[in-house]
């Protein structure tokens, strides 16, 4: 049944905002109940606004929204989590911004993804609590891809459908997974992936977060995992992300 009430509540992550009209802001939210929403915060840029502190990016917030002729308008806002440790650390800010950018770029307006919302909240909580960003972000990537219907195939060759053997393999972002050495010559645009890196990717894909954190990949394997997953994400998006370059810049 269609919800025709003029007022409704959502739990949301603030993805981004921009100035709108004289004293207002346009916010893009990712909500548990309704997916991505664009809403208006009236008068929030005024010095006396009580809502402004609740509506910054990285904030998890409970909102009361009113339907108007255009976009919904925020009438009440209450912070649930502000993730203060993320805000105080540039590296954590960049890692959290990456999570929000993936959410923003991979989802469409009012397309519900409660599983993805919960994954994003848990990822921000982990980053805020001091969990190593490598584990938080790689786990987010693999499980977000699953929730969005882009789960990479890591167990059988996407060309011949034969089980992958314990040797170095190849990966096709276009075809959505691993390509065995026998098929590699017949598939364009592939990149190599070492057997150990593939083993860690599989472990992250099929494990709980606690179990994933028991893995201990070497620095070279961590770099290969990050590069392969971001290559795959960018291929599915068919566009570029801004945050990976920023992360590399502040990490160098």
Same domain, 213 and 142: yes
| Domain at 122, CATH number | 1.20.1440.120
* Percent of the chain whose pLDDT exceeds 90: 73
**pLDDT of amino acid 81:** 95
Q: What is the dihedral of CA 227, 158, 153, 165, to 10 degrees?
A: -90
Residue 232 forms part of a structural domain: yes
**pLDDT of amino acid 50:** 66
Same domain, 199 and 218: yes
**pLDDT of amino acid 52:** 60
Indicate whether 217 pLDDT > 70: yes
> Which residues span the domain enclosing 159?
87-251
Same domain, 75 and 111: no
Q: Which of 60, 82, 104 is the last residue of a domain?
A: 82
Q: How confident is the model at residue 43 (pLDDT cuts 50, 70, 90)?
A: confident
Same domain, 122 and 51: no
**Closest among 149, 89, 152, 99 to 123, alpha carbons compared:** 99
Same domain, 74 and 155: no
Residue 29 forms part of a structural domain: yes
Same domain, 217 and 198: yes
Contact 173, 237 (CB under 8 A): no
Residue 1 forms part of a structural domain: no
Same domain, 29 and 123: no
Q: Which of 43, 65, 82 is the last residue of a domain?
A: 82
Instruction: Quote the DSSP letter at residue 108.
Output: -
Same domain, 212 and 136: yes
Indicate whether 166 pLDDT > 90: yes
Block residue for tokens 């969005």: 148
Residue 157 forms part of a structural domain: yes
* Strands (E) located in the chain: 7-20, 24-31, 35-41, 60-66, 73-81, 169-172, 177-179, 190-193
Residues 6+ away with beta carbon under 8 Å from 88:
none
Q: How confident is the model at residue 51 (pLDDT cuts 50, 70, 90)?
A: low
Q: d(Cα 169, Cα 125) in Å, to the nearest integer?
A: 34
Can you give the length of the chain in residues?
Answer: 252
Q: Which of 57, 82, 107 is the last residue of a domain?
A: 82
Same domain, 72 and 155: no
**pLDDT of amino acid 1:** 38
3-class secondary-structure state, position 180 = coil
Residue 2 forms part of a structural domain: no
Lowest pLDDT segment from 45-59, 74-88, 128-142: 45-59
Average pLDDT, the chain: 91
| Domain at 66, CATH number | 2.40.50.140
Write the DSSP assignment of 184-249 as a string of letters: HTT-SSEEEE-HHHHHHHHHHHHS-HHHHTT----HHHHHHHHHHHHHHHHHHHTS--SHHHHHHH
Same domain, 78 and 172: no
**pLDDT of amino acid 2:** 45
**pLDDT of amino acid 38:** 93
For the entire predicted model, the pTM comes to 0.92
Contact 217, 194 (CB under 8 A): no
Write the pLDDT tens digit of every residue in 184-205: 999 999 999 999 999 999 999 9
Residue 173's CB: how many other CB atoms inside 10 A? Answer: 18
**pLDDT of amino acid 185:** 92
Write the pLDDT tens digit of every residue in 7-29: 899 999 999 988 777 788 889 99
Indicate whether 115 pLDDT > 60: yes
Same domain, 151 and 244: yes
Residue 203 forms part of a structural domain: yes
Same domain, 95 and 63: no
Residue 197 forms part of a structural domain: yes
Q: How many distinct structural domains can be found in the chain?
A: 2
Indicate whether 168 pLDDT > 70: yes
């Amino acid at each position: 049944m269609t919800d025709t009430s003029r007022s409704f509540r959502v739990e949301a992550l603030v993805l981004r905002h921009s100035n709108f009209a004289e004293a207002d802001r346009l916010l893009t939210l990712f909500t548990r109940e309704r997916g991505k929403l664009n809403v208006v915060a009236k008068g929030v840029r005024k010095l006396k606004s009580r809502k402004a502190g609740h509506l910054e990016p990285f904030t998890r917030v409970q909102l009361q929204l009113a339907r108007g002729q255009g976009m919904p308008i925020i009438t009440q806002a209450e912070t649930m989590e502000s993730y203060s440790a993320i805000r105080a650390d540039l590296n954590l800010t960049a890692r959290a911004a990456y999570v929000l950018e993936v959410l923003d770029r991979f989802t469409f307006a009012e397309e519900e993804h409660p599983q993805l919302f919960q994954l994003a909240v848990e990822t921000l909580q982990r980053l805020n609590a001091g969990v190593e960003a490598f584990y938080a972000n790689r786990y987010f990537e693999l499980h977000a891809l699953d929730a969005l219907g882009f789960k990479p195939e890591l167990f059988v060759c996407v060309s011949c459908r034969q089980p992958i053997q314990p040797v170095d393999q190849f990966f096709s972002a276009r075809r959505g997974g691993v390509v065995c050495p026998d098929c590699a010559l017949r598939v364009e645009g592939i990149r190599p992936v070492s057997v150990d890196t593939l083993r860690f990717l599989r472990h992250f894909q099929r494990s709980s977060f606690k179990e994933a954190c028991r893995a201990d990949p070497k620095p070279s394997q961590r770099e290969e995992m990050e590069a392969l997953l971001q290559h795959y994400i960018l291929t599915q998006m068919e566009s570029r992300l801004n945050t990976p370059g920023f992360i590399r810049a502040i990490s160098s």
